[in-house]
Amino acid sequence: MGIANRLYFSWLLVVLLLLITTFMPETSSYLFKPLQAKWLWLQVVCLGFQALTLGIAAFQNWGWVLRYNLPLTLIGLILAAINLINGLSPNVFGVPAAGLFLVGFVVLAVLQLPATETPERKNTSPLLGLASLTAVVATLGSLYFSEVKHFIPCTLCWYQRVLMYPLAFLLPAGLLGKNPRVQTLALPLSILGMVVATYHVMEEKIPGFSPIKVCAPDNPCTTPWINYYGWITIPVLSLTAFTIIMVCVVIANRQTRKA
């Protein structure tokens, strides 16, 4: 199977798995249970990244993108296997869904494992380094809040994690591999992250602003886990990080075109 077909079929499979996550009651109900959803959300992180990057790569015919997707595919495979083993536990979603995700990630790995094109190495903008640092710090910060301080991420927080965590891998990989094209892949992730973070800030800061009920009643999106100087909350930090990354990527893209 050619590289173009691998990209296309991988993208279709990722989209299908995301649709199953959204519409299958066995999985969708767990996405909104804050104490039970972690394993499934982490798989959504792996899939959400690939839905964008593989879609862009399929239309641009960038076979090298498979190299960047493979690590997250393998992580998703491991997570799905853990879920399958623990599938009888009420704190994890059930065996059929876990088995389906495991099969899906195995097929993705098969499509992405063979040798792919090597991206052309070029000089990258220093701003790519700043964007990489911001993504890594934001990711480590979110893990500190949830795993050390034991703050429970709300649904909007998880949407932002789905968009931020892959950036913490993609941007440093592009920087170290001298591949400025990762900026094109990072741009939609950062823009979507800004949109979600902006909505979260508005819901948190504007009384009565909640046109779409997203978060579960037992873990509302408006819980101020931190509140530095009466303004700086976790959504504000997230919006700041996504904005920095987006600005850096846009300017770096312009510099790359001029070079």
**What are the structure tokens assigned to 126, written together?**
């220093």
Are 219 and 171 a contacting pair, CB within 8 Å?
no
Torsion of CA 88, 78, 153, 92, to 10 degrees: 0
- Output the pTM of the full model: 0.84
Q: Is 150 helix (H, G, I), strand (E, B) or coil?
A: coil
Cβ atoms of 97 and 27 within 8 Å: the answer is yes
Flag the least confident range among 72-81, 160-169, 249-258.
249-258
Of 158-167, 168-177, 223-232, 249-258, minimum mean pLDDT range:
223-232
Query: What percentage of the chain exceeds 70 in pLDDT?
Result: 87
Average pLDDT, stretch 165-170? 92
- CATH code at 120-259: 1.20.1550
Q: What is the pLDDT of residues 110-157, one digit of tens each?
A: 998 876 667 777 777 889 999 999 999 999 999 999 889 888 888 888
Distance from C-alpha of 201 to C-alpha of 233, rounded to nearest angstrom: 9
User: 40: which residues sit within 8 A by CB, 6+ positions away?
Assistant: 21, 27, 30, 31, 83, 92, 93
Distances (CA, A) of 199 to 41, 44, 108, 140, 206: 20, 20, 33, 22, 10
**pLDDT tens digits for range 56-70:** 888 888 888 888 899
Contacts 24+ apart (CB under 8 A), 25-29: 26/93, 26/94, 26/96, 26/97, 27/93, 27/97
Neighbours of 18 (CB within 10 A): 15
Strands (E), 146-224: none
Residue where the block lists tokens 């530095």: 228
Residue 77 CA: distances (Å) to CA of 84, 142, 239: 10, 23, 30
